[in-house]
Amino acid sequence: MTPKLDHPIKRELKIGRELYTVMMSPEGVKIALKGRRKGREISWETLLSGDAELTQQLKMSVDAYGGVHDE
C-alpha cells in the first residue's frame, strides 16, 4: 500500500552543477535552489489540468520568436 502524502517531503536534487530542494506536499510541488526560499511552485490541480504544459509551450513559442519572459 502506498502511504498518503499528508505532510511535506523534502529531497535534494542535482541538475547540472546546481543543487535544488524539491518539496512535495498535499498542496503541490515546489523546487528552489538549495538554501533559497523562493522557487517555482505548482499545485496538483494545475499539473493535472494540463495548464502547466500549456504554459511551458507558450514560453517556448515566445522564446522562438525572440520574446522575453520573466523567470
- 70 is a domain residue: no
First to last CA, the chain: 39
The residue among 61 and 14 whose pLDDT is bigger is 14
- 46 is a domain residue: yes
- 1 is a domain residue: no
- 31 is a domain residue: yes
SS3 22: strand
Report the alpha-carbon distance of residue 55 to residue 66 in Å, rounded: 17
pLDDT digits (tens, 9 = 90+) for 2-43: 999 999 999 999 999 999 999 999 999 999 999 998 998 988
Where in the chain does DSSP place strands (E)?
9-15, 18-24, 28-33, 40-43
pTM above 0.85, yes or no: no
pLDDT score for 66: 64
Angle at 68 between CA 64 and CA 71, to 5 degrees: 110
- 69 is a domain residue: no
- 43 is a domain residue: yes
Q: How many domains does the chain have?
A: 1
- 57 is a domain residue: yes
- What domain range is 56 assigned to? 9-64
